[in-house]
Amino acid sequence: MTQKRFYLSTTDKKIGGVCGGLAEYFDIDPLLVRIAFLFLIFCVGGGLMLYLILWLLAPKQSQI
C-alpha cells in the first residue's frame, strides 16, 4: 500500500502549485481549492500566509 503525500503540483499550477497539489491530495477540483484560498485571503486574512508557508515547505512532485 502506498502512502499518500502532499506535493506541489508541477502540472496544475498557477503560481506555486500549492492549490493543484492540495486538490490532487484530497482528490477534488483545483478550482474549489483556489476559491477557498481566495476566501481565506480576503475574508479571514490568513490565507496568504498559509499559502506561502505551504509553498516554502512542501516538496515538489517528481517528474517520473
Q: What are phi and psi of 26, to 5 degrees?
A: -90, 0
Can you give the pLDDT at residue 64?
Answer: 53
The tens digit of pLDDT for each residue in 5-61 reads 889 998 888 889 999 999 999 999 999 999 999 999 899 888 889 999 999 999 987
Can you give the pLDDT at residue 62?
Answer: 74
Confidence of residue 1 (pLDDT cuts 50, 70, 90): low
Whether 19 contacts 38, CB under 8 Å: no
